[in-house]
Amino acid sequence: MIIRWQSFVNSEVNKPYIDRLHDYLNSIAAPGNQVEIVEMYPPARDFGRLQEFRCAQTVVKNAIQAERDGCGAFVIGHFQESGLYEARASCTIPITGMGEATLLWASHVGRRIGLISLDDAFEVIHLEQMERYSLLSRLAGIKGINFAVADFAAAFDGEESAYQRIVAKFSEAARELIALGADVLVPAGGLFGLLTADKVGFAVDGAPVIPCTPITLGWAEMSLKLHTNQGLAPSRGPSFALSTDRAIQDFLTEGP
């Protein structure tokens, strides 16, 4: 079954990341599943609400197209998961968001969550995510490592000094959060998550670091299995009432 994974970057700005993401996801996918990467044009390159809103529209359109193409599931591989609820209300295939899957798994592993963001600009958005998933009372704190998307390109291209610089900054932020009571650490982004995906048992001073990329794919695969075998789908009551065909068509054709 094909699982379509929406990235928020593209090969023009970070080809090593896209290539590794494709290879890694397909290396860990369950037998019979294949992961296709959908890139974002233009990529998410300026942090803030307007960018998230713009990307959300692309996400929903691509989720609808994935279902029409016969894909079994769709993944928003961006921690802020812009458009998650709208996509879920527009499709009958399972829609998985990286932030939702990672945060809920973190709540299973520890009691106090330390969230390490790519940039301080996302702090309020992450707070809203924690509130949405009823985890705000379990948040120890949020720290940004303040790297741009382009800063990861060298690390994915094999430059050891770039890799060590990013991991060192992450570990510094992690220790600040541990001092505030965090006992589980969440890297709020697919870039860092993939960069360190091979660090088996990754922890900082005993606090486990949640591997968001494999957790997100695993969540999507489990959702697909339950949807196929048990018919389990999102509530079609007020939370995720399925959009009408007319509403979907109006959305797909909107414009001047």
Summarize pLDDT for 106-137 with one digit per residue, the tens.
999 999 999 999 888 899 999 999 999 999 99
% of the chain exceeding 70 in pLDDT: 99
Tokens matching residue 100: 């939702």
140 Cβ contact partners less than 8 Å away, ≥ 6 residues apart: 112, 113, 114, 177, 180, 181, 182, 183
Q: Examine the pLDDT at 213 and tell me if it is beyond 70.
A: yes
Average pLDDT over residues 50-74: 97
Q: What is the pLDDT of residues 126-180, one digit of tens each?
A: 999 999 999 999 999 999 998 877 778 888 888 899 899 999 999 999 999 999 9
Residue 212 vs residues 100, 123, 228: alpha-carbon distances, Å: 10, 18, 24
3-state secondary structure of 166: helix
- The model's confidence at residue 255, banded by pLDDT at 50, 70 and 90, is low
pLDDT class for 40, splitting at 50, 70, 90?
very high
Residues 156 and 88 in one domain: no
Residue 170 contacts residue 207 (beta carbons within 8 Å): no
CATH number at residue 45: 3.40.50.1860
Verify that 81 and 25 share a domain, yes or no.
yes
For residues 189 and 210, the answer to whether their CB atoms sit within 8 Å is: no
Q: What is the DSSP string of 173-188?
A: HHHHHHHTT-SEEEEE
Do 149 and 238 lie in a common domain?
no
For 112, which DSSP code? S
Q: Which of 38-52, 175-189, 207-221, 225-239 has the lowest mean pLDDT?
A: 38-52
Shared domain for 92 and 144, answered yes or no, is: no
pLDDT value of position 151:
79
Q: What is the C-alpha separation between 56 and 49, in angstroms, rounded?
A: 10
Alpha-helical regions (H) of the chain: 11-28, 49-68, 84-88, 98-109, 123-132, 153-156, 160-179, 190-195, 212-230, 245-253
Q: With H, G, I as helix, E, B as strand and everything else as coil, classify residue 97.
A: strand
- Give the number of C-alpha atoms closer than 13 A to the C-alpha of residue 206, restricted to the C-beta side: 5
Same-domain check for residues 87 and 46: yes
* Model pLDDT, residue 242: 96
The yes-or-no verdict on residue 256 having pLDDT over 60 is no
Query: In this structure, are 125 and 180 located in the same domain?
Result: yes
The answer to whether 54 and 242 have CB atoms below 8 angstroms apart is: no
Which domain CATH number covers 116? 3.40.50.12500
Residues 170 and 194 in one domain: yes
149 with 173, same domain? yes
How many domains are there within the chain?
Answer: 2
- Answer yes or no: do 89 and 165 share one domain: no
Q: Summarize the confidence of residues 247-251 as an average pLDDT.
A: 95
Query: What token pair was written down for 182?
Result: 């965090």
* Domain span holding position 85: 2-97+214-253
Check residues 184 and 162 and name the one with the higher pLDDT: 184
**For residue 205, what pLDDT is reported?**
97
Report the candidate in 100, 91, 76, 129 with the shortest Cα–Cα distance to residue 241: 91
- The average pLDDT across 43-69 equals 94
134 and 107 in a common domain: yes
What pTM value is reported for the model?
A: 0.94
In a shared domain, residues 222 and 148: no
Closest CA to 113 of 56, 51, 177: 177
242 Rama sector, left if φ>0, alpha if ψ -120 to 50, beta otherwise: beta
What integer best gives the mean pLDDT of the chain? Answer: 94
Residue 45's pLDDT is what?
82
Q: What is the pLDDT averaged over residues 88-92? A: 98
Does residue 48 sit in the same domain as residue 65?
Answer: yes
